[in-house]
Amino acid sequence: MASAPTVPTPVRSEEDLNPFRIAMRQFDKAAEKLGLDQGLREILRRPHRAFIFTLPVKMDNGSIQVFEAYRVQHNSSRGPCKGGIRYHPNVSLDEVKALASWMTWKCATVNIPFGGGKGGIICDPKGLSMNELERLTRRYAYELGTFVGPDKDIPAPDVYTDAQVMAWIMDTYSMTHGGTSAPGVVTGKPIFLGGSLGRNEATARGCFFTIRAAAQLRGIQLTSARAAIQGFGNAGSICAELLAGAGVKVVAVSDSHGGIFNAAGLNISELTEHKRKSGSVRGFPGTENISSAAVLEAECDILVPAALENQITLENAARVKATIVAEAANGPTTPGADEILHKKGITVIPDILANAGGVTVSYFEWVQDLQELFWDEDDVNRRLEKVMVRSFSDVYLMTQKYQVDMRVGAYILAIDRVATATRTRGIWP
């Protein structure tokens, strides 16, 4: 039977920064190279379902504030949906749809048995008290209700959500499902509530393993390399620490307040302490203030965007000086910028590979919760390294086979795996 025609991706004169349309363009490019049939393309490029919630919250001053929230389940052919929850003023449904689809491709790239999901609440978490944050989170968890669960959809932390937020979600889910404890409903929990050792560092550690592999391919010695990192949160700060530990000179970093630079390299543990005390990397002794955008253009060998989407664009891609760009963030490079970086001979380790260490150890956490048997940290890190090294090599083989860059190579690998699962399960009814 003939399938519906593919909805053409809109082409605009100026660069289109809509994350979901970007995600669809990335998908289309790889699906074309793979020769995927039209029907499967139609299924896989869209989310299976998307929920929109209105969350009323009693504020500390007695007023009521109403928040809009989302959960998108992109695909579950290979296993339960998996993906973080973001609290940010710029969250939108299209952003969550893009992030959910990237989760599907990410889980398939590293071959773990999950599909893709993502959630978000439009809010400014820095302006909320802990009590307000807890009420907002619990209301959201209540609304997620039966749509999530250890065998359906398993949330995790993302930008401005953490282990405490996961603990509230786990507790709300458990209380509304018969009062039992259900640690497998979320990952990224505190260790004493069924979290996994190594999960907090996993995204950065996985990213580090891919940087090490790319450096080897490009003939770069880590001990004489320089790095610049945009974003100094969970992914960025720990990646900085791991790179510095391997002998890399981290010369520039930034956070939402701006960037800092020191050509001689930054002492990352002192910088982390400075950020913990002052709330920003700015003002770190011995550094020059630069903008967050300037960090992306710093003279360096390794650039790690670890903040938000659409940071490397048509506007600044030509000025990127690094040899390796490792996408710790999701969606930091636009398709237009991707082409420029490729032409410049820059190796871009795509987000669906570079930051997949987080979801990989989330998978380990879920496995440990279901088994009620916990591994030591060395065990977790060893297993993570194996997955990341193997996945980097799987993606590299695709780039050779199809003569494409690493993003298209990773998508081809992932789409083929999800398409095979979907085709084999069949279309119901």
Cite the active site residues.
118
What is the contact mask toward ligand NAD in residues 287 to 316, using x (rule: CB under 6 A)? -----x-------------xxx--------
8 Å CB contact between 55 and 71: no
Chain residue at closest Cβ approach to ligand NAD: 233
Contact status: 159 vs ligand NAD (CB under 6 A): yes
8 Å CB contact between 333 and 342: no
Contact status: 365 vs ligand NAD (CB under 6 A): no
State phi, psi for 224 to the nearest 5 degrees. Answer: -120, 15
107 vs 306, which CB is nearer to ligand NAD? 306
State the minimum distance, in angstroms, from the CB of residue 228 to ligand NAD: 11
Quote the DSSP letter at residue 168: H
| Stretch binding ligand NAD (CB under 6 A), from 173-181, 324-332, 333-341, 367-375 | 324-332
160 vs 284, which CB is nearer to ligand NAD? 160
158 vs 405, which CB is nearer to ligand NAD? 158
- Residue among 281, 327, 335, 289 at smallest CA distance from 308: 327
Contact status: 391 vs ligand NAD (CB under 6 A): no
Considering only residues 165, 328, 340, 418, which one is a binding residue for ligand NAD as defined by CB under 6 A? 328
- Residue among 415, 414, 408 at smallest CA distance from 339: 408
Instruction: Measure the CA–CA gap between 307 and 143, rounded to whole angstroms.
Output: 28
| Stretch binding ligand NAD (CB under 6 A), from 152-160, 174-182, 241-249, 417-425 | 152-160
**Residue 198 CA to chain centroid, in angstroms?**
17
- Strand 64-75 versus strand 49-58 pairing type: antiparallel
Structure tokens at 237: 């700060």
Contact status: 355 vs ligand NAD (CB under 6 A): yes
40 vs 368, which CB is nearer to ligand NAD? 368
What is the contact mask toward ligand NAD in residues 238 to 257, using x (rule: CB under 6 A)? ----------------xxx-
Quote the DSSP letter at residue 319: G
User: Which residue, chain included where needed, has tokens 């903040």?
Assistant: 307
Instruction: Measure the CA–CA gap between 211 and 328, rounded to whole angstroms.
Output: 10
Helix 19-34, helix 406-425: angle, nearest 10: 80
Residues across the chain:
429
State the minimum distance, in angstroms, from the CB of residue 292 to ligand NAD: 3
67 vs 160, which CB is nearer to ligand NAD? 160
State the minimum distance, in angstroms, from the CB of residue 406 to ligand NAD: 17
State the minimum distance, in angstroms, from the CB of residue 4 to ligand NAD: 32
- Strand 302-305 versus strand 226-230 pairing type: parallel
Residue 157: cis peptide before it, omega within 30 degrees of 0: no
256 vs 289, which CB is nearer to ligand NAD? 256
Structure tokens at 139: 């209301």
Residues lying near ligand NAD in the complex (CB under 6 A) are found at 157-160, 203, 230-236, 254-256, 292, 306-308, 328-330, 355, 358
